[in-house]
Amino acid sequence: MHHQLECPKTLHWGVGLVRPVLVLNSTYEPVNVCSTNRAIVLLLKGKAETVEAGAHLIRSERAALATPSVIRLNYYVRLPRAEGRRLSRRAILARDGFRCQYCGSTHHLTIDHIVPRSRGGLTSWDNVITCCAACNVRKGACLPSEVGMKPSRRPRPPAPGDFVLASHKVVPEAWLPYLPYAVA
């Protein structure tokens, strides 16, 4: 049986309940982001549990519930394969931790095709990496090996958390432990 929840005067529906909530799979991997309102529905239906509480409290006559900041589903959601998801600049930057994959710089970031397009390189998750402007100039239309450069790790399709990072400019602190490459 579920309690009928009422919103106390201290909680502003327009602000508190549309706050984004990070949704984790049963495996603790990020799935997506939903509104507080939607998260509370999942909690009350017993489909999710709160992992990190938010700042507000919602009260009914018989129960009080902290608004969540991170929830975890009680069941496993199969996610779309990242390989098939649209390539975007921000998703590439998020995947690479917002760092140049050649020198580690966090400034003037661009996207580099490891195998240059002029030499048949594809715009695919395994051929594009984050690269600072200086490294991009140095590498030019060469292969990294031809100019003594080497990406710090092999590019991979982004993890679901990378898409969360890519779509949110400001990420709540409570989310950071669940987003592997998040930079504060």
Which residues lie near Zn ion (CB under 5 A)?
Answer: 100, 102-103, 105, 132, 135
| Residue whose CB is less far from Zn ion, 71 or 129 | 129
Q: Tell me, what amino acid is at 106? A: T
CB 182 within 8 A of CB 171: yes
| Residue whose CB is less far from Zn ion, 92 or 132 | 132
Shortest separation between residue 98's beta carbon and Zn ion, angstroms: 12
Shortest separation between residue 97's beta carbon and Zn ion, angstroms: 13
| Residue whose CB is less far from Zn ion, 72 or 113 | 113
Shortest separation between residue 102's beta carbon and Zn ion, angstroms: 5
| Residue whose CB is less far from Zn ion, 37 or 105 | 105
Q: Which residues contact 117 (CB under 8 A, 6 or more apart)?
A: 123
- Bridge-based pairing state of the strands 48-59 and 30-35: unpaired
Shortest separation between residue 151's beta carbon and Zn ion, angstroms: 10
The tokens of 40 are what? 């509370």
Q: Which candidate, 52, 82, 78, 26, places its Cα nearest to that of 177?
A: 52
